Amino acid sequence: MTQQILVIGHEPVIDELAREFGAKQECQIEYAPDECAAIARLRASSYDVVLAGPNGAAEDRLKVVDAAGGGVDGARVIVFGGGNNPSEVVSAMRHGAFSFFSRPFQIPAIREMIFKALAAPATPPSMGLISASPNWLIVRLKCDAMTVDRLIQFVRELKTGLTDQLREQLTTAFREMLLNAAEHGCQFDESKQLEISFARTARLILYQIRDPGPGFAVESMEHAAVGNPVGQPFRHVEYRNSHGMRPGGFGILLARKIVDEMLYNERGNEVLLIKYL
């Protein structure tokens, strides 16, 4: 069945991607001039994905998310913000947006998220906000790869006031540790949940990641580079190959080089990442 994408407004990057999905993925693309017209279309027709362009008012984009059902048995809405506004990011999460991007728009990242939105089932929200302020976010989320990627993009958009380089470095560290928790703490079991905190003060950025797994001692992990003995920098590669694991194992080592402090709890199923500003 042909999938349908509704595009709101006209933004060159979004229009380019819409044409690409129409031609290469054989999606049916429709356009609405503004949010009011888009809401009318959502009430009259069924769409798989909505791309809510950045030119309207932020509150009107949220009305589109609400009209789409907030991701429950309806279209997955990707919201585009006009500028770096953490409050808008948090509001989009609260209303059930599938993802959020602000300028400058990165075509590869948006393209990948549209693919995910097209592949996602119309199910109840997989992220639950416990605390939802721009400087202190606490989220519970289903332990599946798609939900993890969605959360990473939302948190990426909260790091305003940073250089592009530092923002991408911190996103990389957060992603590596979150995927570790999802893979090794939950085995990507969607019946399990991760709990994530993101805090931003004038002097630091803090991530807290807790998984429901039994925990581990970091230095004893044979599948990770951080546990390699002196003189055997690639022993974990042999271990992963012999146990049928995916290539990798450098996540903790990479994150340690990016953040200033990394602390595990006694059980080993909760980690703090701290970066001083």
In this predicted model, what pLDDT tens digit does every residue of 25-58 receive, in sequence order? 999 999 999 999 999 999 999 999 999 999 989 9
Whether omega for the bond prior to residue 104 falls within 30 degrees of 0, making it cis, is yes
Distance CA 74, CA 81 (A): 21
Reported as a pLDDT band with limits 50, 70 and 90, residue 1 is confident
What is the model's pLDDT at position 231?
A: 66
pLDDT of residue 221: 58
The average pLDDT across 113-139 equals: 88
Q: What percent of the chain has pLDDT over 90?
A: 69
What's the average model confidence in pLDDT over 229-258?
66
DSSP 220: G
Distance, C-alpha 220 to centroid of its chain? 29
Over residues 56-107, the pLDDT tens digits come to 899 999 999 999 987 666 899 999 998 778 999 999 999 999 999 998 899 9
Least confident among 110-119, 191-200, 232-241:
232-241
Token pair of 95 as six digits: 């209303």
pLDDT at 3: 94
Show the tokens assigned to 125. 């929200």
Domain boundaries, the chain: 1-123, 126-277
Q: Domain spanning 126-277: which superfamily?
A: Histidine kinase-like ATPase, C-terminal domain (3.30.565.10)
Task: Supply the pLDDT for residue 215.
Answer: 86
DSSP state of 37: H
Peptide bond into 233 cis (omega under 30): no
**Phi/psi of residue 44, nearest 5 degrees:** -100, -25
Tell me the sheet residues that pair with 275: 205
Q: What are phi and psi of 100, to 5 degrees?
A: -145, 135
For the 1-123 domain, the top CATH level (class) is: alpha beta
Q: Which spans in the chain are helix H?
A: 12-24, 35-44, 58-67, 86-95, 107-119, 145-156, 164-180, 235-242, 251-258
User: Please, is 59 exposed, middle or buried when counting C-beta atoms within 10 Å of its C-beta (0-12, 13-18, 19+)?
Assistant: exposed
Q: What is the pLDDT of residues 195-233, one digit of tens each?
A: 999 999 999 999 999 999 988 766 655 555 555 555 655
Residue 246 corresponds to which amino acid?
R
Tracing tokens 């953490």 back to the chain, one arrives at: 86
117 compared with 223, residue with greater pLDDT: 117
Q: What is the pLDDT of residue 70?
A: 72
Q: Are 20 and 45 in contact (CB under 8 A)?
A: no
Taking only the tens place, the pLDDT of each residue in 147-201 is 999 999 999 999 878 998 999 999 999 999 999 899 889 999 989 999 999 999 9
**Predicted TM-score (pTM) of this structure:** 0.87
Q: Report long-range pairs for 221-230 (Cβ below 8 Å, ≥24 apart).
A: 221/252, 223/249, 224/249, 224/250, 224/251, 224/252, 224/253, 225/249, 225/250, 225/252, 225/253, 226/252, 226/253, 226/256
Please report, for residues 9, 215, 236, the alpha-carbon distance to residue 67 in angstroms, rounded to integers and kept in the order given: 17, 42, 49
Q: What is the pLDDT of residue 264?
A: 93
